[in-house]
């Protein structure tokens, strides 16, 4: 029993963190862009990565799906060109991975988790999820509807395309795109254009980063329209954390250990960090791809048997 619990628990956190780091590096593999202070505009930029990663980051090798969605909405309104590619790729990501993208393949999620590790002075305890955080979790759905769809559509009809969320809210755009470009010595002309919008977005970024010290992944939980979109696929995504109801004892241990605002494992708020897999004493929780178990009691048993032999 001891060997099985060790084989189930030890590798997972490290493996997930490693995948997060790999994703962040691969999304921003154009190192030359950071050196030159220029955005990559090659053929790969016509494709989207799964997670939130700013198009304007000097290292970004592909487009951000949230920015692409806003541009597609605006283009369909202004030019009558439906964004079939963007809708198709988002549908594909959602059906295959759902919010597991948030837990494993989002650089902004990785950054927030690392900041959350900063301890509070004086032994203060960080607030846990509560009724307020659960209420705030609905804000991202409003932002998806208004800033990622309605406003781009409205401005597109006026022939003035506007990616509203990217322009007025997105902290990832400020951190990954605006700041590296503005701080590069070659971009003095860009610094001359800084105005009130950049100041406002700087305040939003600072607020999110400070809040990360106290609250686990606040941007993902409260503000990210992409997470809201992927959350709509929670029940039908191929890959994700699943509960075997025949084994579940409804003890509540999984909900207690979960750092986000889930009501049940694998629901729309679950980012599939997989903490619940190792905490379940009844072996009821697994990571599955369809009917194939990728991580859970069955795979742990096979690994343990291999270690004993």
pTM summary value: 0.90
Q: Which residue has the tokens 């202070």?
A: 37
DSSP state of 120: P
β-strands 285-289, 239-243 pairing: antiparallel
**Measured between alpha carbons, how far is residue 180 from residues 39, 172, 173, 210 in Å?**
10, 12, 10, 20
Q: pLDDT tens across 104-114, in order?
A: 999 999 999 99
Per-residue pLDDT of 12-63, as tens digits, reads: 677 899 999 999 999 999 999 999 999 999 999 999 999 999 999 999 999 9
């Amino acid at each position: 029993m001891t060997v099985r619990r060790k084989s189930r628990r030890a590798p997972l956190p490290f493996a997930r963190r490693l995948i997060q780091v790999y994703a962040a590096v691969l999304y921003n593999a154009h190192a030359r862009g950071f050196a030159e202070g220029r955005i990559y505009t090659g053929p790969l930029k016509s494709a989207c990565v799964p997670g939130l990663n700013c198009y304007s980051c000097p290292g970004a090798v592909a487009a951000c799906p949230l920015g692409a969605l806003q541009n597609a909405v605006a283009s369909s309104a202004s030019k009558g060109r439906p964004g079939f590619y963007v809708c198709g790729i988002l549908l594909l990501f959602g059906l295959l991975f759902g919010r597991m993208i948030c837990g494993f393949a989002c650089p902004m999620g990785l950054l927030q988790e690392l900041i959350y590790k900063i301890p509070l002075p004086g032994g203060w305890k960080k607030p846990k999820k509560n009724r307020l955080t659960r209420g705030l979790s609905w804000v991202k759905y409003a932002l998806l509807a208004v800033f990622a769809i309605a406003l781009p559509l409205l401005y597109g009809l006026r022939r003035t395309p506007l990616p509203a969320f990217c322009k007025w809210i997105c902290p990832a755009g400020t951190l990954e795109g605006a700041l590296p470009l503005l701080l590069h010595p070659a971009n003095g002309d860009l610094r001359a254009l800084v105005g009130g919008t950049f100041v406002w977005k700087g305040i939003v970024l600072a607020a999110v980063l400070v809040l990360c010290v106290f609250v686990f992944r606040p941007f993902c939980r409260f503000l990210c329209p992409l997470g809201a979109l992927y959350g709509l696929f929670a029940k039908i995504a191929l890959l994700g954390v699943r509960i075997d109801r025949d084994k579940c004892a409804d003890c509540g241990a999984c909900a207690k250990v979960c750092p986000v605002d889930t009501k049940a494992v694998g629901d729309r708020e679950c980012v599939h960090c997989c903490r619940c897999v190792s905490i379940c004493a009844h072996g009821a929780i697994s990571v599955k791809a369809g009917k194939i178990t990728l991580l859970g009691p069955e795979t742990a048993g096979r690994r343990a048997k291999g270690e004993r032999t």
